[in-house]
Amino acid sequence: MNKKEFLNLGKQPIANGFLTEGNFNSEFFYDLSVGLDEDTKLVTHMDYVKPELMFNDTYAYRGSMSKTMRDHFSETSELLRKHLSDKPRVLEIGSNDGVFLKNWDKDTTIAVEPCSNFAKETNDLGYLTYDGFWTKQLSETIVEENGWMDLIFAANCICHIPDLDQTFAAIENTLTDHGFFVFEDPSLVKMINENSYDQIYDEHPHIFSITALKTILERNGLTIVRVDNTPVHGGSNRIWVQRTMFAKPDESVENNLTHERIIGLDDPYTFERFANKVSDSKTDLVRLLSRCVDSGKKVISYGATSKSTTVFNYCGIGPDLIQYITDTTPEKQNKFSPGVHIPIVKPEGNFDNSVDFAFLGAWNFAQEIRNKESEYTGKFITHVPVVRIV
């Protein structure tokens, strides 16, 4: 690759590495800098964090923690079924706690998951789950033991994998002739338009444009046939792919490529401008939180997200500005946030009207949170698309 750095978000810890006090001194940090690959126009980290440091048997993120995502995967499954035969063979790469799998038949659906705690959970549910990283070698074992797949699905997983060529070649190897590979990941268009720089963290070594994916998929015998822009995770793309020989792209592909050209996703200047806006966002957020605290207000954060790991570490926001973070995930509660060590607590008894301001760490679920917290009389603070009280 021929990468040119455009943004540096400083020293960052493992974004989902929630920790106890005893582990503060041994915490791992790396330099988070992002570049544009001049050959493919891929937005990608300058250096990749080793996958084993992030995806292991203590992985804390559960996809099923929000109704929005549970509903999203049930609707996505309905949509996919319309394009498949009666009893399709389905493989999910990166199945997490089974939030997508649960919509499919156990006899014909298998999964791959490198976080052993979750691989065990979905094996126990009855879905054969291979406990490992998606590689060419594992794909060969899967084909040998299960045959080719009619659908390969991956949500918020492909953008986690440093080596995209190996990933796509292994997928090409595993699909039936007319099979679909469908994957969802955060959209680079949305990140640039909304200034949501917190989509960038260790687990997201790439933020995908359709432009870059087209080149990388095509050199591995695969072609994009459809793109759906979805609102989840602050704006994602659901990308449908087939073997090049059998692919018939619809107009959504060209429409997305044209839109990306218009907003300049192949132009280094777009990314320079983005980096300047990120720096302004930091100044504005620290200023706003400091004013709240200096006025004696109680400020907390809502949702211990990976995204907020990026924000807090980049902006230097610690327990002096945010008293604590509430989160519904049992694996995160009673631990500290990565890097800046803000305590994480259960929402019950901690999110009430004694809170004056709650920073939306989970801004992507703002609507679900507002519906749930309709009795809350305090205010929310967000930094997307601009720092403000809402």
Nearer to ligand TYD, 253 or 344 (CB): 344
Distance CA 92, CA 100 (A): 8
Phi-psi region of 388 (alpha: psi -120 to 50; beta: other; left: phi over 0): beta
Nearer to ligand TYD, 102 or 307 (CB): 307
Nearer to ligand TYD, 135 or 328 (CB): 328
**In the complex, minimum distance from the CB of residue 367 to ligand TYD, in angstroms, rounded to a whole number:** 9
Tokens 């659901």 identify what position?
238
Residue 273, judged by CB atoms within 10 A of its CB (0-12, 13-18, 19+), counts as middle
Q: Within the chain, how many helices (H) and strands (E) appear?
A: 11, 17
* Contact residues: ligand TYD, CB under 6 A: 61, 65-66, 303-307, 327-329, 362, 364-365, 368-369, 372
Distance CA 376, CA 137 (A): 52
Tokens 């498949």 identify what position?
84
The HSE-up count of residue 177 (CA atoms within 13 Å, CB side) is 2
**In the complex, minimum distance from the CB of residue 333 to ligand TYD, in angstroms, rounded to a whole number:** 10
Distance CA 137, CA 377 (A): 55
**Pair 95, 112: CB distance under 8 Å:** yes
The HSE-up count of residue 350 (CA atoms within 13 Å, CB side) is 20
**In the complex, minimum distance from the CB of residue 41 to ligand TYD, in angstroms, rounded to a whole number:** 24
Nearer to ligand TYD, 108 or 230 (CB): 230
Nearer to ligand TYD, 150 or 203 (CB): 203
**In the complex, minimum distance from the CB of residue 299 to ligand TYD, in angstroms, rounded to a whole number:** 17
Residue 215: strand, helix, or coil: helix
**In the complex, minimum distance from the CB of residue 329 to ligand TYD, in angstroms, rounded to a whole number:** 4
**In the complex, minimum distance from the CB of residue 358 to ligand TYD, in angstroms, rounded to a whole number:** 11
Nearer to ligand TYD, 88 or 378 (CB): 378
